[in-house]
Amino acid sequence: MPERERNRRLVDLSAIRHNVRVIRSLVPYSARLLAVVKADAYGHGSAEVAAAALKAGANFLAVATVPEGKNLRMKGISAPILVLGESTAREMETAAFEDITIAVSSVEDIRMASEAAEAMQKTLCLHLKVDTGMGRIGVRTLEERNQVLDAVNRAKGLKLTGVFTHFADADGEDAAYTDLQLARFHEMTDDLPSDVIRHCANSAAILRRMPECAFDMVRMGIVLYGYPPVATDADFQMAMEWKSRVMFVKTIAPGESVSYGCTWHAGRETRVATVGCGYGDGYHRAASGKAQVLIHGVRVPVIGRICMDQMMIDVTDVPDVQVGDAVTLMGREGSECISAEDIAGWAGTISYEVLLAATGRVKYTFMDED
């Protein structure tokens, strides 16, 4: 991290490529690999991650919205892109123009998509979303499905190229709900032509439900970033580190307090370092009182409440801490490691939210060993 900086995320693109290759080894070769790069690739940087994933063998990309897909096109990504969520009429026009595939869930979606395709004089590719139990978007019955398929057949400028569903509990203890969703997916899609690709597996299903959930494609989400959501022997690598710096150091007397609300008091003479990162950078304030960071390879506690722009750490037992020293908020130092899952545990949330929480103040560096 450059010397004068206070806040930077370092993304290792060789870890992304490594993870794609590990997933490739777990998934039947007949299934394509889709890299989920929505929400700026789970906070990792969508264009860079997309390019790395494609280089390592991913065949398809997925985003949440058409603007996210357009952003990838503007950065020169020409691979197939699927929008996983619903799109507005205007977004459908952009999708047609940019050759982006959209998800559709209703006859009304088909009407809008057809108008968009005609307006742009382009063919708009569609993946039908089937709601097998997530309760979010998608057709829910065979009758609804048939109405949508009829509408596609009657409409101009549309091509149904895929059909998919999303599991609600593939990482849960009990497989029963995923079994039910899988059975519904079969019921809703088994009779479709073979050139309509079928996909349902998220990271948890990739790790737990191969080959039965492979179908024609799998969707690599959190696991692509090195966070398998269920136990596995496979060797995934965390792709992101988050570093900050010591901005100030002082010694306080026993009994003195640190930060808002005076929730923490020194039990001994304490060396306190102030770190240049807070919830204004995306570090979860809810982790106050539990969070730890690494400095000089040593794990130390964050003391008192995490502020908007700063947090304080107890460095009494770490010799020689100086202003400017690097602090690892997430990542490795020697044998110590802090993961997004650790921060999520302290903050009472999930790793996904920690990974993509960085605000615009945090700078990014992409590393690539190739």
Ligand X SMILES: Cc1ncc(COP(=O)(O)O)c(C=O)c1O
Residues marked as catalytic: 38, 260
- H or E, element range at 178: helix 176-189
Site track for ligand X across 21-40, x = CB under 6 A: ---------------x----
Q: Phi first, then psi: give them for residue 319, nearest 5 degrees.
A: -65, 145
Stretch that binds ligand X, among 10-18, 219-227, 320-328, 354-362 (CB under 6 A): 219-227
Output 70 or 166, the one with its CB closest to ligand X. Answer: 166
Q: Which residue is nearest to ligand X (CB)?
A: 221
Which residues from 185-204 bind ligand X, rule CB under 6 A?
A: 202-203
Determine how many CB atoms are found less than 10 A away from the CB of residue 80: 17
Q: Is 46 in the site for ligand X (CB under 6 A)?
A: no
Q: Is 219 in the site for ligand X (CB under 6 A)?
A: yes
Output 205 or 338, the one with its CB closest to ligand X. Answer: 205
Compute the distance between CA of residue 284 and CA of residue 279 in angstroms, rounded to an integer.
6
Compute the distance between CA of residue 125 and CA of residue 104 in angstroms, rounded to an integer.
10
Rounded to a whole number of angstroms, the minimum distance from the CB of residue 85 to ligand X is: 8
Rounded to a whole number of angstroms, the minimum distance from the CB of residue 50 to ligand X is: 15
How far lies 76's CA from each of 9, 13, 62, 68, in Å? 23, 18, 15, 13
Rounded to a whole number of angstroms, the minimum distance from the CB of residue 225 to ligand X is: 8
- H or E, element range at 299: strand 298-303
Size of the site for ligand X (CB under 6 A): 10
Rounded to a whole number of angstroms, the minimum distance from the CB of residue 280 to ligand X is: 26
Rounded to a whole number of angstroms, the minimum distance from the CB of residue 36 to ligand X is: 4
Which parts of 253-350 fold into alpha helices (H)? 340-347
**Amino acid found at 157:** G
Helix pair angle (107-120, 89-98), 10° resolution:
50
The whole-angstrom distance between residue 370's C-alpha and the CA centroid of its chain comes to 23
Q: Is 166 in the site for ligand X (CB under 6 A)?
A: yes
Rounded to a whole number of angstroms, the minimum distance from the CB of residue 136 to ligand X is: 8
Compute the distance between CA of residue 359 and CA of residue 10 in angstroms, rounded to an integer.
14
Rounded to a whole number of angstroms, the minimum distance from the CB of residue 197 to ligand X is: 14
Stretch that binds ligand X, among 49-57, 221-229, 233-241, 248-256 (CB under 6 A): 221-229
Stretch that binds ligand X, among 22-30, 139-147, 216-224, 232-240 (CB under 6 A): 216-224
Helix, strand, or coil (residue 170): coil
Stretch that binds ligand X, among 117-125, 182-190, 222-230, 295-303 (CB under 6 A): 222-230
Output 216 or 325, the one with its CB closest to ligand X. Answer: 216
Output 83 or 148, the one with its CB closest to ligand X. Answer: 83
Compute the distance between CA of residue 63 and CA of residue 41 in angstroms, rounded to an integer.
8
Place of tokens 């570090």: 283
Stretch that binds ligand X, among 220-228, 264-272, 280-288, 306-314 (CB under 6 A): 220-228
Output 221 or 304, the one with its CB closest to ligand X. Answer: 221
Structure tokens that stand for 333 in this block = 């130092």
- DSSP letter at 179 equals H
Strands (E) located in 46-196: 60-63, 81-83, 101-104, 124-129, 158-164
Structure tokens that stand for 52 in this block = 């790395």
Return residues touching ligand X (CB under 6 A). Answer: 36, 84, 166, 202-203, 219, 221-223, 229
